[in-house]
Amino acid sequence: MSNDPSSPEPSPAPTQAPIPGADKKLLAGLLGILLGWTGAHKFVLGYQKEGIIQLIGSVVTCGIGGIVGIIEGIIYLTKSDQEFVDTYIKGRKPWF
């Protein structure tokens, strides 16, 4: 590398600003997969009514209702950050 002061310095790579709300994607996805029957992923996203429905449904069906949480967790994790925010944070879509 030369010490020629006239040669331009390489510019740093541009950083992309984080999308507000995308920080909940990983937590909600993992909670949906691991604790989906409790509705914990719904509470993280601010869906209290749906979280309570998820919990009651799982208790009434002896845990079979937890399959919904697993499916939702996988859906959350497979969406891009922007799709996740548009659908579940801005769009407030409570189920699937």
**What is the residue extent of each domain of the chain?**
23-90
Distance of CA 29 to the CA centre of its chain: 5
Using the predicted structure, report yes or no on whether residue 7 has a pLDDT greater than 80.
no
Per-residue pLDDT at 10 exceeds 70: no
Q: How confident is the model at residue 20 (pLDDT cuts 50, 70, 90)?
A: confident
Q: What is the mean pLDDT of residues 79-85?
A: 95
pTM score of the predicted model: 0.79
Phi, psi for 21 (deg, rounded to 5)? 100, -20
pLDDT in tens, 21-68: 899 999 999 999 999 999 999 999 999 999 999 999 999 999 888 999
CA distances from 90 to 1, 14, 19, 46, 65 (A): 49, 26, 12, 12, 26
Contacts of 91 (CB under 8 A, 6+ apart): none
